[in-house]
A = this chain, B = another copy of it.
Amino acid sequence: MDLETLTLGQYNFIQNAFSFGLAVMGAATLFFWFMRSEVAPAYRMAITITGLVTAIAAYHYLQIMLSWQGAFQVSHGAIETTGAQFNQAYRYVDWLLTVPLLLIELILVMKLARGETISKSIWLGGAAALMIALGYPGEIAETGGTRFTFWILSMIPFIYIVYQLVVGLKDSIRKQPENVRGLINGAAYLVVISWLFYPIVFLFPLVGLTGGAAITAVEVGYTIADIMAKAVFGILILVIAMRKSEHEQVKA
Q: Which residues of A contact B (CB under 8 A)?
A: 9, 12, 15-16, 19-20, 22-24, 26-27, 30-31, 33-36, 38, 41, 44-45, 48-49, 51-52, 55-56, 59-60, 63, 74-77, 83-85, 87, 89-90, 92-94, 96-97, 140
A37 CA to B153 CA in the complex, in Å? 42
A14 CA to B30 CA in the complex, in Å? 30
Give the dominant DSSP class at A's interface. Answer: helix
> 5 pairs across A/B with beta carbons < 8 Å?
A19-B93, A31-B52, A33-B34, A34-B36, A38-B44
Of B55, B75, B93, the residue contacting A27 (CB under 8 A) is B55
> Copy number of this protein in the oligomer?
2
Of B23, B36, B44, the residue contacting A97 (CB under 8 A) is B23
A76 CA to B20 CA in the complex, in Å? 28
- Asked if B27 contacts A48 (CB within 8 A), the reply is no
Which 9 A-B pairs rank lowest in CB-CB distance, beginning with the nearest? Answer: A75-B83, A76-B83, A34-B48, A20-B93, A27-B52, A16-B93, A16-B89, A27-B56, A74-B85
Of B16, B41, B85, B97, the residue contacting A24 (CB under 8 A) is B97
Closest to A242 in B: B45
Of B30, B38, B55, the residue contacting A45 (CB under 8 A) is B38
A56 CA to B27 CA in the complex, in Å? 7
A97 CA to B33 CA in the complex, in Å? 19
Contacts A26-B59, A38-B41, A85-B74: A12 and B52 contacting too (C-beta < 8 A)? no
CB neighbours (8 Å) of A22 from chain B are 59
Closest to A37 in B: B44
Contacts A59-B26, A75-B84: A19 and B52 contacting too (C-beta < 8 A)? no
Measured CB to CB, the closest approach of chain B to A99, in angstroms, equals 13
- Asked if A90 contacts B35 (CB within 8 A), the reply is no
A22 CA to B84 CA in the complex, in Å? 22
CB neighbours (8 Å) of A20 from chain B are 93, 96-97
Of B19, B31, B48, B63, the residue contacting A48 (CB under 8 A) is B31
- Asked if A85 contacts B77 (CB within 8 A), the reply is yes
Of B15, B44, B60, the residue contacting A87 (CB under 8 A) is B15
CB neighbours (8 Å) of A51 from chain B are 30
A115 CA to B167 CA in the complex, in Å? 30
Contacts A33-B34, A34-B36, A34-B48: A60 and B93 contacting too (C-beta < 8 A)? no
A230 CA to B193 CA in the complex, in Å? 34
